[in-house]
Structure 1
Amino acid sequence: MKNLIWDLPRAFNLVGKVRGVALSRDRFQFFFKYEEDIEKILKVEVYTQDDWSVVLERLIEELPNDYLMILPVWIWLYEIPVNFYTEVTIMEIAEEIGQVVEMAFDPEKPQSSGFVRVRVLFDVSQPLRNYKTVQLPDGKVVKIPIEYERVRKRCFQCQRLTHEKSRCPWNSLNKHKLEIEKTIDALPLQKKQSTPLLPDDPLFGVLTDEQVGLDARTGRSKISKDVLDVMRQYLQVQDPNERKAREQRVRQSIEDLDGDLLKQKTLLRLEPAPVITTDVNHGKGLVFQFTENNGVSNKGEKLMDVAIRAGSNPGDARITWSGTSQETAESSLVDCSTSFRIGTSGASSYGTSSTKKKFRRRPQSSKRREETMLKDTEGLSKEVEASREGNSAGKRNSDEVGVISAKCVKRDQSKVDQEDPPTIL
């Protein structure tokens, strides 16, 4: 993780604008020159370093107990029962993983991905859940598989994101190592405990410990501390009759919110209401789309024709950030020196200018093959004719040479010695 100090500025193109300091082996602090650079980095959902997730938060004066323990992450919920494919059911299932911030869901459009994306604030001290068991009203129990976007490495012993299996405190083979190292991984192992209402508390006897304690499913408080303080201040009256009336109002207000997940989230826990967007690809980053400016319907056209036309006219290509409208994306891609457009560009006196690529006018391979075979056939016929002419001329020359040689080597029988024949060995 020590490479994070050098890799983070390069990853966000902030070299020279940010300075990193290693506070410990697992904690780092960065100093920025500009506010917009901080906002740019904090927009990243899950930043990874060496395949490990990194929690990024702004430094504040008073650090809360869960500082650097909350990781915003998009989760995928699979196999939701068809009769319960609603916003309330999806939000209730996602609340088991973490505080729901945003949900990409559009019930009026077809869902081809097979899952629903929900953005939650995940507590890294808790283990990752690969599925969630849900009991339906008819008593049937189903499992909802869960996946996490951009989350890579984890501990395969306890499914947490804070350490490897070789340093897991739940592994009996690593206990002696943790006692020696005193790593920071042991800090998140301390579970939150709810404090019961004391007798001198104004809420003692008005609300039960179960109503003000921690939720066993999520690990978060059922009622915010600020809401409890307002209730205590509301009960500080001297008149006994008025106090009884106010106690009844406090009980009734809690009972009215029983079963309403959204109101419990916003009124009791003071959490912001989840944002529901109809863009199912919201938060994924760059989305590439090829559209036409003329808006003419291409019904009845073949897919290959559309692909060829899109390739021959690179100006129709558009790049949009998910979550932005098409009009905004098209207006941002104007012809200027800093705009992006598919194709090549050349330098000019005022910046960059788009240049058309020159394509080779080359015939098809079958036609080139026929031309090659035709040329080979013509060349072969010429060679045959040449060889024939050469053979005929050769015959004539050989006859002439034979006649001359025959005249030259004609033997004179009068000079042959008949008494001295050759010797055969």
Structure 2
Amino acid sequence: MEENLAEVMQGMSLGEDKSIIIPDEDEYCAMDRGGRSILGRLLNPDCQNMGRMLKTMPKIWKVYERVRGIALTKEKFQFFDLETNIQTVLRQGFWTFDDWGMAMERWVEHPPPNYLQTATIWVRLHNLPVNYFTMKTIDIVADCIGHVEVIEFDPEKPLLNDYVRVQVTLDLNQLIRDRKSISLPGGRVEYVDVKYERVREKCFHCLRLSHEKLKCPLYQGLKNKGKCIASRPQGMKEGQSSGTRQHHNDLAERLMPLLAPSVPPGFEPLPTLVAPEVFEQMKIYMSCADPEERSIREAKMRKTLNELSKDPIAQRACLRLEMAPTISTEINRYRGKVFDLSRVQEKQLH
């Protein structure tokens, strides 16, 4: 009897929670104002003061009289009433506060999966090989850093700086490397130095922008009896790929086996190779029951992939659905400072 009574009392006290219904009325919705706003997130909220940032950034942007910022979570925020100043703020490049970066994008009603996971940054490419100082080489090197947006280069004019500036959109979950190796015809390997404008701090162990070295989970794992812990770096989500960007000159060898009739579902290439929606269309095209017709389609598909293997820009446009870069003859626009990160590294070690 007592056991039955206890079960009844527990059921009464743990009744199903009812969902709160928000009326479909303008007074409850902020989407109209959202169109005039920027959303963002602090990349290292442990080292960044949200309150001071919300007060300080409108002053830096010189819009403090009409812009209001609000904290949405410990790391996410929103600035309202920017209106015509949105593009002015975003095109300046990478913004930092308390020395650490911020991801910021224009508000959208239905954010894509990578929303606030990227940042547009100007990079400087130093020590490009003298015999390969061409637009194609600059593009293919920069694409390994991030999606190329703008290349400042005019082969008909003098280049007065010892670097080429390129604007790229970085995946903030990837490594921020200071050097890229390039394999030249004949097997020779050379190195291009990469400097990032406006980037002040990063982890000098895993090379990410989300924490200091002393708080790096990988670094802590090495200190823990020399064993690497299994936890993923801060900012990388469950199931997220760590694939790096690069130009592929063997697309047919990589993709044709995945389009074979015998391949079971689930074997798909990384998004850094081909966008999921493009790969789905490729599978539909290749799903032909007639052996003769399938053989013809295989030959056409292989020919197309071989052609794309020779053209980096076409490869990115057709397979990854990325816009071709803008070639700018206007040099050093919106140029930001490059900071000496060696001093920052010494500070993180102490």
For the pair 1:281 / 2:332, whether they are aligned, the reply is yes
Q: Distance in 1 between matches of 2:222 and 2:305?
A: 46
Relative to 1, partners in 2 of residues 1:184 and 1:253: Cα closer, same or farther, differing over 3 Å?
closer
Deviation at 1:168, TM superposition (A): 1.2
Deviation at 1:131, TM superposition (A): 0.9
Equivalence map 1:296-375=2 (5 Å): none
Report the equivalent of 1:123: 171
Relative to 1, partners in 2 of residues 1:212 and 1:95: Cα closer, same or farther, differing over 3 Å?
farther
**Secondary structure, in 3 states, of the residue corresponding to 1:132?**
strand
Report the equivalent of 2:12: none
The letter for the 2-side match of 1:83 is N
The letter for the 1-side match of 2:279 is L
Deviation at 1:126, TM superposition (A): 1.4
Q: Larger relative CO (CA 8 A, sep 6+): 1 or 2? A: 2
**Secondary structure, in 3 states, of the residue corresponding to 2:106?**
coil
Relative to 1, partners in 2 of residues 1:158 and 1:202: Cα closer, same or farther, differing over 3 Å?
closer
For the pair 1:265 / 2:321, whether they are aligned, the reply is no
Which residue, out of 300, 315, 319, partners 1:249? 300
The letter for the 2-side match of 1:122 is L
Partner deviation per Cα, 1:95-140 (whole Å, 9 max, x = no partner): 1111111100112222221111111111111121111112222332
Deviation at 1:83, TM superposition (A): 0.5
The letter for the 1-side match of 2:172 is V
**Secondary structure, in 3 states, of the residue corresponding to 2:84?**
helix
Report the equivalent of 1:41: 89
Partner deviation per Cα, 1:133-177 (whole Å, 9 max, x = no partner): 12222332222111111111112222211112232111227999x
For the pair 1:165 / 2:213, whether they are aligned, the reply is yes
Relative to 1, partners in 2 of residues 1:51 and 1:126: Cα closer, same or farther, differing over 3 Å?
same
Equivalence map 1:200-279=2 (5 Å): 203-205=259-261, 213-214=269-270, 220-236=271-287, 239-279=290-330
**Secondary structure, in 3 states, of the residue corresponding to 2:192?**
strand
Q: Distance in 2 between matches of 1:135 and 1:277?
A: 27
Q: Distance in 1 between matches of 2:306 and 2:61?
A: 49
Q: Distance in 2 between matches of 1:243 and 1:138?
A: 38
Structure 2 residues without counterparts, runs of 5 or longer: 1-47, 225-230, 244-256, 337-350
The letter for the 2-side match of 1:57 is E
Report the equivalent of 1:72: 120
Larger-gyration structure (1/2): 1
Q: Distance in 2 between matches of 1:92 and 1:208?
A: 33
Partner deviation per Cα, 1:164-222 (whole Å, 9 max, x = no partner): 2232111227999xxxxxx996232654178xxxxxx993349999x9623xxxxx521
The letter for the 2-side match of 1:262 is I
Relative to 1, partners in 2 of residues 1:168 and 1:242: Cα closer, same or farther, differing over 3 Å?
same
Q: Distance in 2 between matches of 1:88 and 1:237?
A: 37
Is this contact kept in 2: 1:166–1:174, CA < 8 A? no
Report the equivalent of 1:395: none
Partner deviation per Cα, 1:256-279 (whole Å, 9 max, x = no partner): 212221210111111111111112
Report the equivalent of 2:347: none
Q: Distance in 1 between matches of 2:325 and 2:292?
A: 40
Q: Distance in 2 between matches of 1:238 and 1:55?
A: 48
Is this contact kept in 1: 2:173–2:208, CA < 8 A? yes
Deviation at 1:85, TM superposition (A): 0.4
Deviation at 1:16, TM superposition (A): 4.3
Which residue, out of 121, 129, 137, partners 2:185? 137
For the pair 1:154 / 2:210, whether they are aligned, the reply is no
**Secondary structure, in 3 states, of the residue corresponding to 1:55?**
strand
The letter for the 2-side match of 1:247 is E
The letter for the 2-side match of 1:87 is M
Which stretch shows the higher mean deviation, 10-19 or 83-92?
10-19
Which residue, out of 139, 158, 171, partners 1:91? 139
Report the equivalent of 1:21: 70
For the pair 1:61 / 2:109, whether they are aligned, the reply is yes
Partner deviation per Cα, 1:11-56 (whole Å, 9 max, x = no partner): 2222242322212222212222x53132332222111111212111
Q: Distance in 1 between matches of 2:233 and 2:187?
A: 40
Report the equivalent of 1:109: 157
Which residue, out of 57, 62, 66, partners 1:8? 57
Structure 1 residues without counterparts, runs of 5 or longer: 177-182, 195-200, 215-219, 286-425
Report the equivalent of 1:321: none
Is this contact kept in 2: 1:127–1:159, CA < 8 A? yes
Relative to 1, partners in 2 of residues 1:243 and 1:94: Cα closer, same or farther, differing over 3 Å?
same
Report the equivalent of 2:345: none
Is this contact kept in 1: 2:214–2:220, CA < 8 A? no
Relative to 1, partners in 2 of residues 1:100 and 1:251: Cα closer, same or farther, differing over 3 Å?
same
The letter for the 1-side match of 2:299 is Q
Q: Distance in 2 between matches of 1:271 and 1:277?
A: 18
The letter for the 2-side match of 1:4 is M
